C-alpha cells in the first residue's frame, strides 16, 4: 500500500492505493496504517486532483478504480451508497431496502461508518429517516459542509 498525504479543503487527507486502485481515504483524525509506504504515484496525484476538483465544486463524479475492503454485505451497501446522486441524500433505511434487507438499518449504519473511501463512496449523503444528519467519520461539520457544497452546486451556485 502506498499512501500520499495532502492538505485539502477538508484538512489533511491521506489517500492509499494498492495495485492501481484506491483502497483508503484517511481524514486528519484517523490513525494511519503503520505498514503503509509514504510516497506518490501518478494514480495518487490523479486521485488528489479529482478530490480537490470535487471540493472546489468542479467535479460531481469520481473516475477512479476503487477497491474498498469489507464483507460482501458491506460492499453491497457501498455499491448502493455510491449510486446516490450528487446533491441528493438517502436514508439508512433506503439503503437497507435497496440492499434487499429492510431490517438491516443498523448494519447499513455500521457499513457506512466503516466505509474505507469516504467522499469517493459518498457516505456523507446518507442521513437519518427523519432528515437529520447522523454520524460521519470525518465529523458532522464536514458532513454538513459536503452536503452544502453539493446542494449549492446543484442549485447553480
Catalytic residues: 123
Look up cell 502506498; give the residue. Answer: 2
CB atoms within 10 A of CB 152: 12
CB atoms within 10 A of CB 88: 12
Asked if residues 82 and 125 have their Cβ atoms less than 8 Å apart, the reply is no
Q: For 127, list phi and psi in degrees, rounded to 5.
A: -130, 175
Count of alpha carbons within 13 Å of 150, Cβ hemisphere only? 17
Amino acid at each position: 500500500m502506498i499512501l500520499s498525504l495532502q492538505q485539502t479543503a477538508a484538512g489533511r487527507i491521506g489517500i492509499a492505493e494498492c495495485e492501481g486502485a484506491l483502497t483508503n481515504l484517511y481524514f486528519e483524525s484517523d490513525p494511519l496504517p503503520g505498514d503503509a509506504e509514504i510516497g506518490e504515484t501518478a494514480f495518487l496525484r490523479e486521485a488528489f486532483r479529482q478530490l480537490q476538483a470535487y471540493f472546489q465544486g468542479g467535479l460531481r463524479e469520481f473516475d477512479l478504480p476503487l477497491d474498498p475492503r469489507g464483507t460482501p454485505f458491506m460492499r453491497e451497501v457501498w455499491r448502493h451508497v455510491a449510486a446516490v446522486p450528487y446533491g441528493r441524500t438517502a436514508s439508512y433505511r433506503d439503503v437497507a431496502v435497496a440492499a434487499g434487507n429492510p431490517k438491516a438499518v443498523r448494519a447499513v449504519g455500521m457499513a457506512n461508518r466503516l466505509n474505507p473511501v469516504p467522499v469517493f463512496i459518498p457516505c456523507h449523503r446518507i442521513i437519518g429517516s427523519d432528515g437529520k444528519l447522523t454520524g460521519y467519520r470525518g465529523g458532522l461539520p464536514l458532513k454538513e459542509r459536503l452536503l452544502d457544497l453539493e446542494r449549492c452546486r446543484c442549485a447553480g451556485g
